[in-house]
Chain A
Amino acid sequence: MTEWHDAAATDALSDDEVLGLSIAGVPVALFRQEGDFFALHDLCSHGAARLSDGFVENGCVECPLHQGLIDIRSGAPCSAPITEPVRSYPVRVVGDRVEIALDR
């Protein structure tokens, strides 16, 4: 059964912003894009950098160390030097709260 974890208030971040969270000890980067929320594991698949420190533009987050782009919706790599996807987590909005499921 999917276990949902309370992550943040829906107004905790604006479009094109990212929030670094720790949910049940797991580092998670929560993104907001055109009103929708997306969550990725908060570690670049290329180097040891927090994606929540990265810059969000055009649906991608730019890794703060190596400038590689990752799709915030899927975690797919979009540019060099990133080659491996970043794990993405299911997100849902319940009332004014964002919830994230880690068990996938």
Chain B
Amino acid sequence: MTAIPQGGATYVVVGGGQAAAWIARTLRTEGFTGRLVLIGEEPHWPYERPALSKAFLQGTGSVEAITLLNPTLAEEARVECWLGQRVTAVDRAARIVTTADGRSVAYDTLFLATGGRARRLPGLDSLPSDRVHTLRTLTESERLRGALAGARHLLVLGGGWIGLEVAATARALGVAVTVVEAAPRLCARTMPPVVSDWLHTLHESHGVRMVTGVGVAGVTGTAGGIAVTLADGGRLEADHLLLGIGIEPEVGLAAAMGLALDDGIVVDAQGRTSDPGIFAAGDVARHPNAFAGTSLRLESWANAQNQAIVAARAALGGTGVYAEIPWFWSDQYGVNVQMLGLPGLGTHAVARGTPEAGSGCWLMLDGSGVAVGAVAVNAARDLRVLRKLLEDGRAPLPGAWTDTTTPVQRLPSRPNVGLD
């Protein structure tokens, strides 16, 4: 690509998370020489979020280990970071960004990396707020860590990845945990039943009480904690409550600007929004995904980094597109779980090794035999090889996949199309 120095230009990044940091870093490493302003609402320097529910929550991780831009790096890269600043308006006609405290900056190119906010249950506002937690930010992770230190029992609403990771960390800290999931099984939105069942067993074997298939009728404060009434009349009490019921993309600013939205900011394969001078990346952006054959909004570490890099390069004239197969991981009880593609769309699981016993990989096939995704348990390398194969439009022969005597990179493969 031909990087354009853009010496007299000002590029503004709205957002202070992982995607925002990678946009800023990439603009500089790709040769942008103009003024670069990053405006983040959180008071912290941009950081990665995966550890917030794991090592950092447990007290074994540091802020430094997850920070992507610190004062030294920002100065070296000449990134003006306005932290703790909320952007209140963007005037697209005049190309001016204004913040809550009245600062403003004129931009030539704008990037939106506004991420998402933790979803809350309606009617929770009357509850004792020191007992109710969400987990999206460093501040919230520190607050939950403090709460867990004195807690006997944590109630987790939501059996998705955040809820399960916090449950695992709380158990490691010796806290009793109950998880309540309204759907009949865990991670039902993205995972096939075989994975839901394995997660269920994994958590129960570590002493977590699982309540699935039951909604929450009401939540009240008690003298010393929180009480939840279930739809079936059951009642649960705990010291603290974590809401792990997903995030909502932070699209308020984009909506006010009149950008095209669809559960997120709609972008093309280069991160460009419906305004060609404005890019978006990370949790907030919905991009066309060739592997999925539809558009996706991904809330993953890999998406936040790599989509941001593509968008930053595109703003400098780059021609690369973001065309990755969805991929993310989770760590629970020292078990590394990695997910590739869209395993929840699979109807048939072919196991390599024994993932349910802690080492192996489920390859998920749809009804016509197309490999739609995979879930690996302590088998990251198998998934890495599989990712390369799927990127090339190929899939392992189902019969060969189960043969653990042959290294995964040497397995015979086939075009990843339907089998008659």
Q: Which chain A residues have a beta carbon within 8 Å of chain B's beta carbons?
A: 17, 47-49, 53-55, 62, 64-67, 80-81
Q: Does B348 contact A (CB under 8 A)?
A: no
CB pair B380–A64 under 8 Å, yes or no, is yes
Contacts of B338 in A (CB 8 A): 64
Identify 11 residue pairs between A and B in the complex whose beta-carbon atoms are under 8 Å apart, listed by A's number. Answer: A49-B336, A53-B378, A53-B381, A54-B381, A54-B384, A55-B384, A64-B338, A64-B380, A80-B305, A80-B309, A81-B68
B384's nearest neighbour on chain A, judged by CB, is: A55
Q: Does B302 contact A (CB under 8 A)?
A: yes
Contacts of B198 in A (CB 8 A): none
Q: Which of B22, B55, B68, B384 contacts A64 (CB 8 A)?
A: B384
A67's nearest neighbour on chain B, judged by CB, is: B302
CB contacts under 8 Å to A, within B294-345, are: 301-302, 305, 309, 329, 336, 338
CB pair A48–B302 under 8 Å, yes or no, is no
Q: Which chain B residues have a beta carbon within 8 Å of chain A's beta carbons?
A: 22, 25, 50-51, 55, 65, 68, 301-302, 305, 309, 329, 336, 338, 378, 380-381, 384-385, 407
CB pair A48–B55 under 8 Å, yes or no, is yes
Contacts of A54 in B (CB 8 A): 380-381, 384
> In whole Å, how far is A104's beta carbon from the nearest beta carbon of chain B?
24
CB pair B305–A62 under 8 Å, yes or no, is no
Q: Give Cα A17 to B384, complex, Å.
A: 14
State the majority secondary structure of interface residues on A: loop
CB pair A55–B305 under 8 Å, yes or no, is no
A68's nearest neighbour on chain B, judged by CB, is: B305
> In whole Å, how far is B122's beta carbon from the nearest beta carbon of chain A?
36
B329's nearest neighbour on chain A, judged by CB, is: A65
Contacts of B302 in A (CB 8 A): 67
A53's nearest neighbour on chain B, judged by CB, is: B380
Most central of A17, A62, A65 by chain B CB within 10 Å = A65
CB pair A66–B301 under 8 Å, yes or no, is yes
Q: Give Cα A19 to B51, complex, Å.
A: 26
Q: Give Cα A49 to B338, complex, Å.
A: 13
> In whole Å, how far is A103's beta carbon from the nearest beta carbon of chain B?
26
B407's nearest neighbour on chain A, judged by CB, is: A17
Contacts of A67 in B (CB 8 A): 302
Known: A48-B55, A64-B336. 17 other contacts (CB 8 A): A17-B407, A53-B378, A53-B380, A53-B381, A54-B381, A55-B385, A62-B384, A64-B338, A64-B380, A64-B381, A65-B329, A65-B380, A67-B302, A80-B22, A80-B25, A81-B68, A81-B305
